[in-house]
């Protein structure tokens, strides 16, 4: 029985690719190196793709164009990794056409309808109007038609709260999510009586092969550094972060201001960069803010290890997990998250309200407190979870349960 892992793979610049690499290493650690003989990786790659480097050696990646009945056999299991960005369009297309073996779908983003709608209207990856309807039918019934017609008129925030996971829930035999929040939404936001495959909650695979790189010695003159990591996106509340950091800097004695900086590490489109730089300049902190743009993984790790506080806010949320949050947790970096949706279940230094005025004040208070600790050489308080729900099982254990059930 082979496991077909259908996902973007590195170096695709999406969190799912990093997730897959971490997952493969976790499976190898849990099941032994021989498991690689059962793993088949699929992505939209050309013949010159170097393969995925794992802790058990190089694993080849099969081109998605060959995906189909001839490549899979009875007893195999396909695991598809679904998110709401275009790197996953081909996977949604493959799912819509159907796979010849049982499928377990790993849901990274709950809110996927905007992507399905866009792909279907452009007729990409074989998706079309029927798939757009199928995405919504089990959640909205006859109301789906009205939603499809009126979707563009909805406020942007409202669009984030529409799931559109019908292709996954119809085609998969099991679903894996990363929070109890996601599980609850999947189970409750659907027309009564519509089939829903079993949903299980799994822990995000451990980044860094469960052995994070040792923290380098901090340069004695290193500034107090606050950072937001990953794709630059308005939902990450970067405007609030800029305002709060500016307010924090204003409160420092002038001589200390040059000893603090704010960094945005990750891809950012030029329009957003220009707007964010203008915002920072207007707030009087243009010279204290850095935008790195996209960085490779080593540089990402190095930047994270320079952080005294990582800011992982999110509102509205696609309901997704955050790979950069998992990395921060593994690296032991103090991290602040939104007290909202799946993030409420995450261990963090602080969970901030998403009500904008409260959010600003709470973030400013966290930055000030963290800075006070930094100045005194005190460690940050231990992270805590805001939710009392149980911690999820490992991905390996959850996958094993599905393998058992679906065999």
- Contacts to other proteins by CB under 8 A: 243-244, 246-248, 250-251, 283-284, 355-357, 360-361, 364-365
How far is 7 from 369, CA to CA, in rounded Å?
A: 41
How far is 326 from 314, CA to CA, in rounded Å?
A: 15
Kindly state the smallest distance separating residue 89's Cβ from other proteins, in Å: 35
Question: Of the two residues 247 and 302, which places its CB atom closer to other proteins in the complex?
Answer: 247
Kindly state the smallest distance separating residue 361's Cβ from other proteins, in Å: 4
Residue 257 phi, psi (nearest 5): -65, -30
Tokens 């709608």 -> residue: 117
Residue 106, both tokens: 């790993």
Helix spans in 32-103 (H) = 89-97
Do 42 and 61 meet the contact criterion of CB atoms below 8 Å apart? yes
Question: Of the two residues 187 and 355, which places its CB atom closer to other proteins in the complex?
Answer: 355
Question: Of the two residues 145 and 282, which places its CB atom closer to other proteins in the complex?
Answer: 282
Do 60 and 37 meet the contact criterion of CB atoms below 8 Å apart? no
Question: Of the two residues 147 and 252, which places its CB atom closer to other proteins in the complex?
Answer: 252
Q: Give the torsion through C-alpha atoms of 321, 322, 327, 333, to 10 deg.
A: -110
Kindly state the smallest distance separating residue 268's Cβ from other proteins, in Å: 23
Do 147 and 136 meet the contact criterion of CB atoms below 8 Å apart? yes
Question: Of the two residues 177 and 276, which places its CB atom closer to other proteins in the complex?
Answer: 276
206: left (phi over 0), alpha (psi -120 to 50) or beta: beta
- String of b and e for 257-278 (b: at least 16 CB within 10 Å)? bebbbbbbbbbbeeebeeebee
How far is 64 from 43, CA to CA, in rounded Å?
A: 5
The two beta strands, 347-348 and 350-352, are: unpaired
Do 240 and 360 meet the contact criterion of CB atoms below 8 Å apart? yes
CA pseudo-torsion sign 151, 154, 156, 160? negative
Kindly state the smallest distance separating residue 152's Cβ from other proteins, in Å: 21
Question: Of the two residues 328 and 364, which places its CB atom closer to other proteins in the complex?
Answer: 364
Question: Of the two residues 248 and 343, which places its CB atom closer to other proteins in the complex?
Answer: 248
Question: Of the two residues 53 and 282, which places its CB atom closer to other proteins in the complex?
Answer: 282
What DSSP string describes 128-193? -HHHHHHHHHHHHTTHHHHHHHHGGGS-HHHHTT----HHHHHH-SEEEESSHHHHHHHHHSS-TT
Do 81 and 45 meet the contact criterion of CB atoms below 8 Å apart? no
């Amino acid at each position: 029985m082979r496991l077909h892992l259908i996902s973007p793979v590195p170096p695709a610049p999406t969190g799912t690719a990093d997730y897959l690499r971490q997952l493969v290493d976790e499976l190898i650690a849990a099941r032994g190196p021989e498991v690689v003989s059962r793993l088949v990786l699929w992505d939209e790659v050309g013949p010159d793709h170097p393969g995925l480097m794992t802790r058990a050696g190089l694993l080849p990646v099969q081109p998605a164009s060959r995906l189909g009945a001839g490549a899979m056999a009875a007893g195999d299991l396909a695991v598809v990794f679904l998110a709401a960005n275009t790197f996953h369009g081909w996977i949604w297309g493959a799912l819509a056409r159907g796979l010849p073996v049982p499928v377990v779908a790993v849901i990274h983003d709950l809110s996927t309808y905007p992507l399905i709608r866009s792909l279907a209207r452009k007729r990409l990856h074989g998706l079309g109007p029927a798939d757009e309807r199928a995405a919504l039918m089990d959640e909205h019934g006859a109301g789906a038609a009205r939603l499809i017609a009126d979707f563009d008129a909805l406020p942007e925030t409202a669009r984030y709260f529409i799931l559109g996971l019908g292709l996954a829930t119809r085609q998969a035999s099991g679903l894996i999510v990363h929070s109890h929040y996601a599980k609850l939404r999947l189970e409750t936001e659907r027309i009564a009586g519509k089939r829903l495959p079993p949903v299980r909650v799994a822990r995000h695979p451990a980044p860094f092969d469960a052995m994070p790189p040792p923290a380098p010695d901090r340069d004695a003159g290193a500034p107090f550094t606050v950072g937001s990591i990953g794709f630059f996106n308005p939902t990450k509340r970067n405007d609030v972060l800029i305002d709060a950091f500016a307010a924090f800097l204003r409160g420092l004695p002038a001589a200390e201001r040059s000893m603090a900086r704010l960094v945005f590490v990750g891809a950012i489109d030029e329009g957003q960069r220009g707007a964010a730089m203008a915002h920072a300049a207007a707030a009087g902190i243009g010279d204290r803010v850095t935008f790195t743009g996209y960085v490779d993984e080593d540089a990402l790790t190095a930047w994270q290890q320079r952080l005294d506080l990582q800011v992982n806010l999110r509102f509205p949320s696609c309901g997704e997990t955050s790979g950069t949050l998992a990395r921060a947790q593994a690296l032991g970096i103090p991290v602040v998250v939104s007290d909202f949706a799946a993030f409420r279940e995450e261990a963090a230094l602080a969970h901030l309200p998403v009500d904008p005025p409260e959010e600003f004040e709470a973030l400013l208070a966290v930055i000030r407190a963290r800075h006070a600790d930094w100045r005194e050489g005190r460690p940050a308080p231990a992270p805590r979870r805001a939710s009392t729900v149980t911690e999820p099982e490992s991905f390996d254990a959850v996958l094993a349960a599905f393998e058992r059930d679906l065999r």
